[in-house]
Each structure stands twice: as C-alpha cells, then as structure tokens.
Amino acid sequence: MIYEKLALELMDENIEQKACLLAMQFALKKNDLNWAPDVDLAKFECARTNQAGNLEYLDLSKKIENLDLAEMRPCLSMALKRLHLHSNIGVKGDIQALECCRGLAEVELYLTSVSGNISVFGEASNLTKLNLYSSRVIGSINSLSKLRKLQFLDVGYTSVRGSIMALAPNTGLEVLTVVNTQISGNTEALQECLPNCFIAASRDRSGLEYGRCRSQSLGTSPTNIKSTTDAWGSSK
C-alpha cells in the first residue's frame, strides 16, 4: 500500500497513522488540506490527536472521491472517538473494519456506500451518535440495545431489521430515525418507554405500527429526515 512506502520516509512516533492519512490524500476530491510529511500529525487539518499522539478525531465529510474503509486500518484504533465520513458516496467497504474502535462516541457514515452488519457497534459502550442513513448496512436493531449512552440513531433507508422495542432500554435516546427500513413493532409503545425521544418512522418497507411522535421540540415532521438530522446537529 502507498502508506507503507511513505512510512519509510517519516520520522514520527505516529508513523503509521500519519503515513495512512498522507496516502489518503489521493482519495480526496480536492487536495486542499495542510497534510504533508513535514507537518506534525497534531496539526493536520480535519484531524485531532489525543495527549498520547494517537488519532482520536477525523472529519472528511464531503471530501472523499473513492476510499475503502479497509485502507484506513492504521487510523482505526481504540483511541478514535469521532469519525465523520458522511456525504461521500465513494466511501465503501465493510464496517467490520471499525470493530477495533470500541472507544467511538460519534460515527457519521450517512450518504455513503459502506456495507456490513451494524452489530459491529454493539460493544461500543461510549457511542452517543450513530448515523448510517442511506447506506448499505444490514443487521438487527436488537444488537444496539446495550448502548446506554446512545442519544442519536439514524438507520433510515437501510436494510436494518428487528423489533423497535429492542431500543426501549436505551433511555438516553433523543432522536431515532427508522424510516424505510425492515424494522417492525409499535412505535407508540416505544414512545411510552422513551417519552423524550423524537421518533421518525413510517410503514414503508416495514411492519411498524405508527403512533404519536413528539416532534414539537425539533419543529419538524416525523418523516422529514433531513430536518431531523440537522435539528440534532453534527458535532464539530
């Protein structure tokens, strides 16, 4: 791989991660970042490192032309907390590549071509935001039932299945979008368990029984996905 060749030329304690990011420049739509061999990884734009110098934040939303998640492996570790690759149809690959990233707090892979089973996030106990809207993921929503810190979940327009009531234990949920999925169950019953959660659901492609949704606080209709995502916001 290209990053392996670049690694030989770099003298940096985070040599693999830095070389990986430098190689990823070839996957960008426009190479306008300050990424260079003579720039410290801690000063890379759209990226941040922790005190140990490991990558903990990466935001390349709307910037990637073509990239497989497998090519990012040197950058994927327990140290990574926030990964934003959304709005890049050219981002593809199996989300199983994120299995080692159990320290993740935010994952934004919506409007991408990533695939794989969402169960990979089932042990990411610090996860607060997971947005997989309009991607190619599969799996059961039941696999996310242990994520007690989860506040925002969007699996709309995916092939995710399962019972919506599996999310009843996720009492921290503030926004849940399951429009146009294979998820079944009674949304009104879930609303009773999660009274402060905005639930966006529909009968399209699913067996959902649609009940009342508390959307007033977000000022949007239950099926307006874009407004739902924007209202909760994308962390910077």
Instruction: Determine the Cα–Cα distance for residues 62 and 33; give it in Å rounded to an integer.
Output: 13
Dihedral sign, CA of 192, 197, 198, 203? Answer: negative
Confidence of residue 209 (pLDDT cuts 50, 70, 90): low
Say whether domain 1-138 belongs to CATH 3.40.720.10.
Answer: no
Q: What is the pLDDT of residues 15-53, one digit of tens each?
A: 899 999 999 999 999 989 999 999 999 999 999 999 888
Look at residues 23, 122, 136 and name the one whose alpha carbon lies nearest to residue 72. 23
Sorted by sequence, the CB contacts under 8 Å of residue 30 that are 6+ apart come out as: 63
Query: Which residues of the chain form CATH 3.80.10.10?
Result: 1-138
- DSSP, collapsed to helix, strand or coil, labels residue 41 as helix
pLDDT given at position 159 = 97
Strand 129-131 to 152-154 pairing: parallel
Q: What is the pLDDT of residues 130-155, one digit of tens each?
A: 999 999 999 999 999 999 999 999 99
pLDDT given at position 212 = 46
Q: What is the pLDDT of residues 53-109, one digit of tens each?
A: 899 999 999 999 999 999 999 999 999 999 999 999 999 999 999 999 999 999 999
Look up the pTM and report it.
Answer: 0.84
- CB burial of 132-169 (b: ≥16 within 10 Å; e: otherwise) equals bbbbebebbbbbbbebeebbbbbbbbbebbbbbbbbbe
